[in-house]
Chains A and B, each alone.
Chain A
Amino acid sequence: MTESKFVPKTVYITYIAATPEQVWAALTSAEFTKQYFFGRDIEIEPKAGGSFAMRMPDGRFDIKGRVIEWDPPRKLSVTWGVAFAEFSELPESLVTYEIEPMGGSVKLTMTEAHQWDVPDAILAGGRQGWPLILSSLKSLLETGKPIAVSVKMGPPPEMLAAVKDAVARKPWRAEATR
């Protein structure tokens, strides 16, 4: 698989009063992710080609993928497959975090890229989730406390219908042969 066929669809940028090493640790260790990432523990092998997964509080995994780039404390890129109901039939996306030191703070850029022409109704899930996840990460590093509302939020209702529709039609197959 090459990264080049993935097209960025959602970008979220924030600035955090922390060191690149602190932000890297928050992105890659379960003791942090469970506090800001909807209660999920990250499990990640620290090398390109390694495995990556997110474990829900009930012990099941709902995100699985592989490490594409492991460059601490600058860049982390993972494939992102949602292992939940119909979502598991969708092509994987690619999630990349870039960390840039900037005058004693850090610029954190999250990019979600896709290898097919994803409808906005499906992108809505990430566009709802990332601002909350990354706002919570920023609060956790700056104040020691995450954003509490994140525990209650589920995917937007239109998203589930759009995923069912996409899985029935599988438009990415036609795109691959074009």
Chain B
Amino acid sequence: MTDPKFVYVTYIATTPEKLWQALTDGAFTRQYWFGQTIESDWRLGSRVVFRSGSDVHDYGEVLVCEPYSRLSYSWEVKFHELFRHERPSRVTFELETMGAEVKLTVTHDEFEPVSKVRTAVSHGWPLVLASLKSLLETGRGSTLTTPEKHRGAKERAIALAEGAA
């Protein structure tokens, strides 16, 4: 028995190629994901690194990489001791072309039975994905997900996780 999966769907006026780049290129992730650079060579089994400046705080491993349609990696949230003992969870991005737009489904699952990580990411995903949509449609990510907001977002995640404890 694990915590229920978290699913979020959004529709973005873009191409699957541009959306794929936004998910896999650190120069893009920085612009909508609280300044975080998410890096990997995206080969199966390769390491995924979540970096803010020189501070590497989370890790993952590439589980599925089908360019422009499906990307999945495990995710070890290490930025705070509250989360460090939990097993790696898994995030999957599915891209589906619909006319001139792309349907993006993000599924985050494989949580611990009672997961503080799940509580924290359930708050963060709508913000990050709203910012990703803005970046691709307007050229600017949300002002709510700039690098300066990262500390506040982490504090909020910790407070939520502590509240759920």
A-to-B contact residues, CB < 8 Å: 13-17, 102-105, 131-132, 135-136, 138-139, 142-143, 145, 147-150, 152
Asked if B54 lies at the interface with its beta carbon under 8 angstroms from chain A, I say no
Question: Are A135 and B12 interface neighbours, CB within 8 A?
Answer: yes
Question: Are A105 and B126 interface neighbours, CB within 8 A?
Answer: no
B-to-A contact residues, CB < 8 Å: 8-13, 98-101, 103, 126-127, 130-131, 133-134, 137-138, 140, 142-144, 149
Chain B residues with CB under 8 Å of A150's CB are 11
Chain A residues with CB under 8 Å of B131's CB are 15
Closest to B98 in A: A149
Bound-complex Cα distance A145 to B101 (A) = 12
Chain B residues with CB under 8 Å of A102's CB are 144
Is chain B's interface secondary structure helix, strand, loop, or mixed overall?
mixed
Chain B residues with CB under 8 Å of A16's CB are 130
Closest to A13 in B: B126
Question: Are B11 and A149 interface neighbours, CB within 8 A?
Answer: yes
Question: Are A147 and B11 interface neighbours, CB within 8 A?
Answer: yes
Question: Are B13 and A139 interface neighbours, CB within 8 A?
Answer: yes
Complex A-B: 25 CB contacts under 8 Å? A13-B126, A14-B10, A14-B126, A15-B127, A15-B131, A17-B134, A17-B140, A103-B143, A104-B143, A105-B142, A105-B144, A131-B9, A132-B9, A132-B11, A138-B134, A139-B13, A139-B137, A142-B138, A143-B137, A147-B13, A147-B101, A148-B99, A148-B101, A149-B99, A150-B11
